[in-house]
């Protein structure tokens, strides 16, 4: 029997490129799903595509306290609670940091860091009480290697990696597991046309969302602590941690080439 059968899972970013594929796989595993996104239309389309029961679509903005309350309320109403939270929702900019607005820096941090932390805090008391729970944070290679022209996004993913590590250690004596899983670039709408052009020129590897979703679900099942997807990116993560000066030099040409695609 699948380890995820009848597990009650909150999936944020469910209507996105990666999230939609994760939802499909979780459904095939027999999970009970709370699918979260802001757009009602996109959620309806996803629900129609998936079919079946055991799905509750929750139209909610995770950066909003009422939105987060709605998510837990709907999960309790539909399934009596929740066992797993997968924080997938995220936003990104490909821009020179100097040109980014203060509002946008705040929005990226609210969506990619603060809201997932607050949602995690919201579900933890119940998970601790039922002595069962799993928090899964979707990060990025950019959360270990600071990338030029993705400065704010990179910084937000560094924060999520730190949050995952610290929380995992804080909860070590409880039944709650924490997973951080970091894909490399993925072919989804998160990336603008300019990013696709840039990625082609600098030969950045880009994975299919279906393959990435499969790896993420595998990490959920195995309750991995940390997982970095793709080779050689997973190796560069290690090298950058030990010898960042080497990576500064190695990426200089790439950063220069990427600059001309900035809008
Ligand atoms: N694509 C890549 O190259 C790549 C690489 C590494 C890591 N990742 C990470 O993978 C995750 C998923 O990315 P993706 O490529 O699937 O992105 P995507 O296709 O753009 O989907 C983003 C999802 O987040 C939701 N979302 C955004 N803001 C929200 C908010 N305030 N409240 C609720 N939902 C919100 C969107 O739904 P609504 O717009 O309807 O709200 C959508 O479902 C992100 O955390 C991203 O950082 C992506």
Q: Which residues contact 181 (CB under 8 A, 6 or more apart)?
A: 136, 137, 138, 139, 215, 216, 219, 224, 226, 227, 229
Average pLDDT of the segment spanning 48-59: 94
The minimum-distance atom of ligand 1 relative to the CA of 12 is: 34
Average pLDDT of the segment spanning 181-199: 97
Assess whether the C-beta atom of 108 lies below 6 angstroms from ligand 1: no
All structural domains of the chain: 8-190+206-231 (3.40.50.720)
Average pLDDT of the segment spanning 80-109: 98
- Which pLDDT score is estimated for 205? 95
Q: Give 145-159 pLDDT, tens digit per residue.
A: 999 999 999 999 999
- Is residue 181 classed as helix, strand or coil in its secondary structure? strand
- Which pLDDT score is estimated for 36? 98
The fraction of the chain above a pLDDT of 90, given in percent, is 98
Q: Given pLDDT bands bounded at 50, 70 and 90, which one contains residue 215?
A: very high
Average pLDDT of the segment spanning 22-35: 98
Assess whether the C-beta atom of 12 lies below 6 angstroms from ligand 1: yes
The minimum-distance atom of ligand 1 relative to the CA of 19 is: 16
Q: Which residues contact 36 (CB under 8 A, 6 or more apart)?
A: 10, 11, 12, 13, 14, 58, 60, 62, 71, 89
Query: Could you identify the residue written with the tokens 């022209």?
Result: 149
Structure token pair of residue 46 = 């996803």
Assess whether the C-beta atom of 136 lies below 6 angstroms from ligand 1: no
Q: What sign does the dihedral 217-221-227-232 (CA atoms) show?
A: negative
Nearest CA to ligand 1 atom 47: 90
- Cα of 99 from ligand 1 centre, angstroms: 22
- Best residue for ligand 1 mutational test, from 20, 35, 37, 62 (most atoms within 8 Å of Cβ): 37
Assess whether the C-beta atom of 133 lies below 6 angstroms from ligand 1: no
Q: Given pLDDT bands bounded at 50, 70 and 90, which one contains residue 71?
A: very high
Q: Given pLDDT bands bounded at 50, 70 and 90, which one contains residue 113?
A: very high
The minimum-distance atom of ligand 1 relative to the CA of 142 is: 6
Q: Given pLDDT bands bounded at 50, 70 and 90, which one contains residue 263?
A: confident
Say whether the peptide bond before residue 11 is cis (omega within 30 degrees of 0): no
Nearest CA to ligand 1 atom 11: 88
């Amino acid at each position: 029997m699948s380890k995820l059968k009848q597990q009650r899972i909150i999936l944020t970013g469910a209507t996105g490129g990666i999230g939609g594929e994760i939802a499909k796989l979780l459904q095939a595993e027999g999970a009970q799903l709370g699918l979260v996104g802001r757009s009602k239309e996109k959620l309806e389309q996803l629900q129609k595509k998936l079919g079946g029961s055991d799905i509750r679509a929750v139209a909610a903005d995770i950066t909003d306290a009422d939105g987060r309350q709605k998510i837990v309320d709907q999960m309790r109403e539909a399934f009596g609670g929740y066992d797993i939270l997968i924080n997938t929702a995220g936003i990104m900019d490909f821009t020179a940091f100097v040109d980014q607005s203060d509002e946008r820096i705040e929005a990226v941090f609210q969506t990619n860091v603060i809201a997932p932390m607050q949602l995690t805090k919201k579900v933890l008391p119940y998970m601790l009480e039922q002595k069962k729970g799993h928090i899964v944070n979707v990060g990025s290679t950019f959360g270990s290697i600071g990338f030029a022209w993705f400065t704010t996004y990179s910084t937000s993913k560094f924060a999520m990696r730190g949050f995952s590590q610290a929380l995992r250690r804080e909860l070590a004596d409880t039944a709650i597991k924490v997973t951080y899983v970091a894909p490399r670039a993925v072919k989804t709408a998160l990336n603008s046309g300019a990013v696709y052009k840039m990625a082609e020129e600098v030969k950045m590897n880009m994975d299919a969302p279906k393959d990435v979703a499969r790896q993420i679900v595998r990490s959920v099942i195995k309750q991995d602590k940390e997982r970095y997807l793709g080779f050689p990116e997973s190796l560069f993560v290690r090298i950058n941690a030990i010898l960042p000066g080497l990576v500064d030099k190695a990426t200089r040409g790439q950063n220069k080439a990427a600059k001309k695609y900035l809008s």
